[in-house]
Copies of this chain bind each other. A is one copy, B any other.
Amino acid sequence: MTVKQLGLEELVAACAELEVPGVGLWREPVQTYGVEAAAKLVREAGLAVTTLCRGGFLTAIDPHARGQALDDNRAAVDEAAALGTDTLVLVSGGLPEGSKDLHGARERIADALAELGPYAAERGVRLAIEPLHPMYASDRCVVSTLAQALDLAERFPAEQVGVCVDTYHIWWDDRAPAQIARAGAGGRLHAFQLADWTTPLPEGVLNGRGQIGDGAIDMRAWRGLVEDAGYAGPIEVELFNDGLWARDGREVLAETADRFVRHAG
């Protein structure tokens, strides 16, 4: 997503050239290219698919919408398995139209995980609940902290449900270091993503994630916390940024790799 201006073939070639060993993929470009064809493309390039983004949106009350969401998440699990990644990242979903009940929405996510967790584990895929910054609580993700994500995940076996830690969403939270340790101790640190916090935020607050090193987040400190908790998996850089998307994708990828080494390496 950091360089969504690149097509899948361009992306794979650019990663190979920069010796980036793995890539997190999003479902839409993979579906457009064809899941099997995408799997073959990355496999033959020797590139690991670190995670698939994203499942989730599991807060609907309406039974029909709820059934559709579960079907869509099973499809996402199948796609993850086909791509050879063991991790599907979940963005939980916001409040249904007109609802003010955060607690109820969080409980519906748990109900959905009870169905999806075993389905995923049978296919070698772990679900990773990603807490999103509290500014998304109403319209995107009612799971706002790592503690909440773990409260949900721990109702299920760790090989079914864990968490995705993204610095952009948790950097402000003084409880997050202890929650990272909790996640690591439980074998639930399933993914780790970097993005920096820059202001002013753009309208809609979706596409203002900062390039690594441009903002307020101490990347090396968070990497240290995650690794101290036992995480040895890939580290993804996931930037939603209109400015970066407007530039040449290969140049942005090279810049990102350089920033990673300088600020998080």
Given the known interface contacts A203-B201, A203-B202, A205-B205, the answer about A173 and B135 at a Cβ–Cβ threshold of 8 Å is: no
Interface residues of A (CB under 8 A from B): 95, 99-103, 106, 133-135, 137-139, 144-145, 147-148, 171-175, 197, 199-205, 215-218, 221
- Identical chains in the assembly: 2
Main secondary structure of the interface of A (DSSP, over half): loop
- Residues of chain B within 8 A (CB-CB) of A148 are 174
Q: Does B203 contact A134, Cβ atoms closer than 8 Å?
A: no
Q: Does B204 contact A201, Cβ atoms closer than 8 Å?
A: yes
- Residues of chain B within 8 A (CB-CB) of A201 are 135, 201, 203-205
Closest chain B CB from A180 CB (angstroms): 15
Q: List 20 A-B contacts (CB under 8 A).
A: A95-B216, A100-B217, A133-B135, A134-B134, A134-B135, A137-B172, A137-B197, A137-B216, A138-B199, A139-B199, A139-B200, A144-B173, A145-B174, A147-B175, A148-B174, A200-B204, A200-B205, A201-B204, A201-B205, A205-B205
Nearest to A101 among chain B residues (CB) is B218
Given the known interface contacts A148-B174, A204-B200, the answer about A100 and B134 at a Cβ–Cβ threshold of 8 Å is: no
Closest chain B CB from A41 CB (angstroms): 36
Complex CA gap A171/B144 in Å reads 11
- Residues of chain B within 8 A (CB-CB) of A134 are 133-135, 172-173
